[in-house]
Structure 1
Amino acid sequence: MGEYRIDELARLAATTVRNVRVYQDRGLLAPPRRDGRVGIYTDAHLARLRLIGQLLRRGYTFANIGEMLAVWERGGDLAEILDLESAVGHPWSDEIAGHVTAAQLREAFGAQDTAQNRARAVALGILEPDGGRYRVPSPRLLSAGAEMVAAGMTLPAVLDLAERLRVHVDAVARDMAATVAAHVVAAHLEDRARHGEDIAAAAAIVRRLRPLAQIVVDAMLAQAMSEHVQEALGEHVAQVLGQRGRTEPPGG
């Protein structure tokens, strides 16, 4: 389970530190665990913050949200409810964020590490300014980009590809999440009494969805890549082989 300080928690929940404290004061968010003078929050807090944000955007007041949460918690085992909140809010990747310096970026991307390209990487969320260095939410993604540049692609082309992929992947994720929510998870939460076993089943489904989503996307991407790589490169390969066949001497 992830652990966060209040500023990191607020950033991940797309809110502010002030709002986090307001929600705590109003009893909507449990207080953090104390580690000395530092408050430590968990994925359950993150999930609750995201839920509060969704309800506020739908027009609910603090009083409405407090009443709903109180009814929900009275209708089922609190541990089950917190488990569901944790399952929904838990990061979908076990990848650990890293940091890079400007010198390391220059070493990885050479002269293509320009201010413009770095700004685009920040806009895409690949890099996040963090004092005198950059936080890297996905070191694997940054490493893949460096490998593509090393293989001969230009950095702008890699960033263009990342931007297009982000749009397509976001659409796929939105579709899968909405479909599962509508056809599977909701079936376990329709009963307004919200029995503990229904909540536990919904939490289990959310956790099962994580590896299943990756398996489905990986399998379909592999099938599509097999087809499109052949389409994109097959003609080029044939031309290269044809040229070699014309230039090589008979029997050579």
Structure 2
Amino acid sequence: MAVEAGITVRTLRFYRERKLLAPPRREGRIAWYDDRHLARLRTISALLERGHTLNGIAELAEAFEQGRGVADVLGVGAPTEEEPVRLTPEELADRFAGQVTPENLAAALELGYLGTDGDEIVHVSRRLLDVSSELVARGVPLAAVLAAGREVRVHAEALAALFEGLVRDHVPERDVTRLRPLARSAVEAEVSLALDRRLSSGGDRRGPL
């Protein structure tokens, strides 16, 4: 296993002692490692190459282990128009240019943006992933993006409840889900108009825009 991962046996034992690696299956004095161990070792190596420390990797691993599974985050059988995205930890690190700290990861897991599936990470929405990574690429700290996401979530829940109440009062139950595109279009148009008003008037420079 150490040879396949490109490390020494001593390093392998050190990772086990630091709890960066799950214990192998044992048969007598023989330790058996599997593909999950190899994937974790390669992830550790990749994150080290990207500037993460072993302590930081250990904290990231702990955050992953405390996070919810992908089924809990996505909701089995729940209707959605969003496309989930599977990522390795190193792909997530590359997306956000070294800002995948334990604190930011915990915030993303708490918001339900991320779920875990073994050694893979699942982001619930390709659109949100693309927008957030683009904001970070343009200089907005990931912590600020996540804080804004928390505020947006509150308003989005209120808007969803408003539209749901509107259609349930006037539309047959079977047609409620079909009207989701109308709700999305209405919200997108209102946000676009609000941005127009703020940008044309100079906006409140103390605000997020």
TM range (shorter): 0.5 to 0.7
Cα distance, 1:227–1:116 mapped onto 2, change above 3 Å: same
- The answer on 1:218 being equivalent to 2:204 is no
Cα distance, 1:160–1:232 mapped onto 2, change above 3 Å: farther
Q: Secondary structure at the match of 1:228?
A: helix
Report if aligned partners of 1:112, 1:155 keep a CA contact under 8 Å in 2: yes
Q: Secondary structure at the match of 1:128?
A: strand
Deviation at 1:234, TM superposition (A): 9.0
Report if aligned partners of 1:136, 1:142 keep a CA contact under 8 Å in 2: yes
TM-score, normalised relative to structure 1: 0.49
Q: Which amino acid aligns with 1:221?
A: V
Which of residues 107, 110, 116 in structure 1 aligns to 2:94?
A: 107
Report if aligned partners of 1:92, 1:210 keep a CA contact under 8 Å in 2: no
Supply the distance in 1 between the matched residues of 2:151 and 2:183 (Cα, whole angstroms): 20
Report if aligned partners of 2:74, 2:124 keep a CA contact under 8 Å in 1: no
Cα distance, 1:216–1:157 mapped onto 2, change above 3 Å: same
In structure 2, the gaps of 5 or more residues are 1-69
Identify the residue that residue 159 of structure 1 maps to in structure 2.
146
Cα distance, 1:179–1:233 mapped onto 2, change above 3 Å: closer
- The answer on 1:12 being equivalent to 2:79 is no
In structure 1, the gaps of 5 or more residues are 1-6, 14-45, 47-88, 189-201, 236-252
Supply the distance in 1 between the matched residues of 2:93 and 2:74 (Cα, whole angstroms): 28
Deviation at 1:96, TM superposition (A): 2.6
If you compute each CA radius of gyration, which structure gives the higher value, 1 or 2? 1
Cα distance, 1:10–1:136 mapped onto 2, change above 3 Å: closer
TM-score, normalised relative to structure 2: 0.58
Supply the distance in 2 between the matched residues of 1:227 and 1:151 (Cα, whole angstroms): 23
Supply the distance in 2 between the matched residues of 1:215 and 1:142 (Cα, whole angstroms): 20
Q: Show structure 1 runs of 4+ deviating over 6 A.
A: none
Which of residues 179, 184, 188 in structure 1 aligns to 2:170?
A: 184
Cα distance, 1:178–1:130 mapped onto 2, change above 3 Å: same
User: Where do 1:1-252 residues align within 5 Å?
Assistant: 8=71, 12=75, 46=77, 91-93=79-81, 95-181=82-168, 183-185=169-171, 188=172, 202-203=173-174, 205-232=175-202
Q: Secondary structure at the match of 2:121?
A: strand
